[in-house]
Amino acid sequence: MPNYLTLLLTMLLTHLSGMSPAAPVELANNGKSAYKIVIAPSANAEELQAAHIFQSYFKQVTSVQLPITQSVSEPDQPYISIGETSWTKVENAPQAYTIEVKAGKLQITGGKRKGVIYGVYTFIEEILGCRKWNANEPAVCPRVSNLTIDSNLLIHSKPAFEYREAYFPAEADDEYLDWHKLHRLDDLWGMWGHSFNQLVPAKRYFRDHPEYFSFYLGERRPLQLCLTNKQVIKIAIATIRKKIKEHTNAIYWSISANDDVGTCECDHCSKINQREGGDQGTLIRFVNAIAKAFPERIFTTLAYGSTSRAPLHTKPRPNVYIFLSSIDAYRTRELENEKSAAAFNRNLKDWEKISSHIFVWDYYTQFTNYLAPFPIIPTLQPNLNYFKQHGVSGVFAQGSGYDYSNLAELKQYLLAKLLWSPEQDVEKLTDEFLQGYYGPAAQYLRQYIDLQRDALVKSGAQLDIYGNPVGDWNTYLTPEMMDRYSMILDSAEIAAERQPELWKRVNRLRLSDEFAYLQQSRFYGRDRYGIWQTAKDGSLSLKPRMQQRVDRFYQACKQNGIDKLNEAGTTIDQYKNEWAWCFHHPPAKNLASEGTIREMTSPFVAEYATKGERTLIDGMYGFDDFSYNWLCFYGSPLQCTLDLNATISVSHVKLNFLEDQRHWIFRPEQLIVEGSLDGEHFYQLGELTTSPLAEDYTIQKIPLAIAFKQQTLRYIRVTAMPQAKLPLWRGHKTKKPMLACDEVWVSE
């Protein structure tokens, strides 16, 4: 609770009593104190921990080591009581706390689940003036010789959300979590997330009992469970009973579908899901059956993908909590007003009608590129207020986990404050953090954050959690805007240069823009802002200082402990190796680069087409990310006609295709190349059929080349036919095979 609320409470109490303000209570004076810390003889582990935390920080601030005792020899003796004692009876809800001065004695009490620890850290921050700005860094404390507090001090606070997790590097710092009243899923859940394979493991049961698993696309598959099979329910209950014995302190247990397709389509499951309006029907009935067997336990279930909607008839039991995901929404605007969040908003309101226990799984970073700029700060508060208004009682704010990401320090700090009390002044909190953590660079970083956010909103770009900085080269990350951001960050570094620790923090923040620059430079390729420069003879060479810039980025990441760059686990070493490959493999000369795309008969996927149809003749190859220099065709052929803009000799045409089976991207079945002089009459130059597909989830680039006797041509038509259907191992009722091609390479 902010200091100004404490002052208001003090003024109110004084006014109501009709008395003059009482003399302040002196806790320490010139290295001495008459006070001691008192805990009950029966103090629990949390109360004992809280007493030692108070003792440690009190000493850091005042240089006074207060003794910890379990008794008070004289009733009038000054003391600081921590936790419940025989003389401090205060009712606190779970996680809530009370800080109060009575008759010159300071009392800090709290409810179950760390309430007293939260109260002590609130005193340390609000009264002692200490700050824990970032995880895995020590708190900053003032030094005072005289410490007094108001004799009418009274602070009582309880959380807006019972479950609060900011899944950022804060997860690795126990003190940061307790200081900022955050949770960690491993501490609360006995079984987390997508759990069907834990309840009834396919490796153990599928061979002998395929009927336990989903009937999908005409056969039993070990993708999901058959939720109407009574034996499956018995096995799941037995598994939970065993796990409860192993995790006696767990509060929640997740009963959720695997993170894959394959909902059971057997007659029994289909009948229920049809009546309930979707796959959530059998899921909620299954979870209810388990919850009924353990009425004293709390079970969470993911409302995600095909189970996002509320069932039409079945209500969750009182000990079943719905965990609703907002994964499909873009992040430019607050969710309440975001068009792409319409389904989430509808689902939230429908679940609210039938359940009083809803958690939300929300998203706060770009998972394909952790370091990419992701300016969402102004949406934090309205989203959390919106959740609270609709009965949400817990939030999993998924960031980059234990790995660093764009503005992780600020995001986790603001989320912690707002998850406890979402009505706080977020602008004030932001300025407080920037000033406290970056010192003289704060004003420039505030300017940088605001400018980037304004540019995003004005551009109308869709901020995607699975995006790439190359996708915003013409929105809020244009070359002109990137230059403006860089100039502001230059000023921030200059302001902090006399304080090495602050300069290092600014430099770490700057890695986001440096990453965006590097990503875009490969995207631009041989264009003005690309990594290559063209000599008079048409050959390509690396632009000066490009390699040094990559090396600096790599070293800065290493110095800041940054290893993984995305959710898939790409490391900074792998990223550097990818760059090293680029340095030694300049793009080949492409005769089509001087031409145009005359005709494109099938629509490409506009969402990933950052250069549009020009992607196929920009003279630049693609990378492992399908949104990075690839033109994609969903369920349709790639068929385009190139106009070389001159009659030239050609003997070779090559196309590279991406295969990323995890994202339903496959090589074509067939490639046909045709030529023409007039653009009207085409004849075949060659064709090939690709090898049969095999299950393989590694990302591959597959070159398909057709060589022929040298021909004089002006027009070339290429046709790549997609796979006729998805392979069995990637079967999906609504997905289609997608093609991804980076370039049509034409050579003599």
- Structural domains of the chain ordered from first start: 3-158 (3.30.379.10), 185-424 (3.20.20), 591-747 (2.60.120.260)
Asked if 743 and 718 touch (Cβ cutoff 8 Å), the reply is no
Q: φ and ψ at 281, to 5 degrees?
A: -60, -55
Do the beta carbons of residue 340 and residue 294 sit within 8 Å?
A: no
What percent of the chain is helix, strand and coil (3-state, nearest 5)? 40, 25, 40
Q: How far apart are CA 339 and CA 437, in angstroms?
A: 36
- Find, among 103, 79, 77, the residue nearest to 23 by Cα: 103
CA-based nearest residue to 656, from 696, 684, 686, 615: 615
| CA distances, 738 to each of 605, 725, 745 (Å) | 10, 10, 21
Report the alpha-carbon distance of residue 515 to residue 512 in Å, rounded. 5
Tell which residue, 160, 150, 81, has the closest CA to residue 120.
Answer: 81
Burial of 298 (0-12, 13-18, 19+ CB in 10 A): middle
- What stretches in the chain show pLDDT beneath 70? 1-22, 72-75
pTM confidence score:
0.92
Is the four-CA dihedral 330, 335, 340, 346 of positive or negative sign? positive
Judge contact between 741 and 701, C-beta under 8 A: no
Tokens of 548: 């040094």
Q: Which of 396, 38, 2, 424 is nearest to 185 (CA)?
A: 396
Give the model confidence (pLDDT) of 582-635 as tens digits.
998 888 889 999 899 999 998 999 888 778 999 999 988 998 888 889 999 999
Burial 554-571 (b: 16+ CB within 10 A, else e): bebbeeeebebbbbeebe
Q: Are strands 683-689 and 700-721 parallel, antiparallel or unpaired?
A: unpaired
Alpha carbons 95 and 115: distance in angstroms, whole number: 4
E strand segments, 42-178: 68-69, 80-82, 97-102, 105-110, 146-149, 154-157, 163-167
CA distance 191 to 300: 10
Give the pLDDT confidence score for residue 71 in this predicted structure: 75
| Region of residue 277 (left: phi > 0; alpha: psi -120 to 50; beta: else) | left
DSSP conformation class of 440: G
Q: How does DSSP assign 580-610, residue by residue?
A: HHHHH-PPPP-GGGGSEEEEE-S---GGG-T
3-state secondary structure of 336: helix
Using alpha carbons, select from 145, 143, 181, 148 the residue that is nearest to residue 60. 143
The set of residues, in sequence order, having a beta carbon less than 8 Å from that of 216 and lying 6+ positions away, is 223, 224, 261, 262, 263, 264, 265, 731
Tokens of 70: 């379990």
**3-state secondary structure labels for all residues of 208-230:** CCHHHEEEECCEEEEEEECCCCH
Alpha carbon distance 675, 592 (integer Å): 13
Q: Are strands 700-721 and 670-676 parallel, antiparallel or unpaired?
A: antiparallel
Amino acid at 446: R
Q: Report how far residue 199's alpha carbon sits from residue 154's, in angstroms, rounded to the nearest whole number.
A: 48
CB atoms within 10 A of CB 80: 23
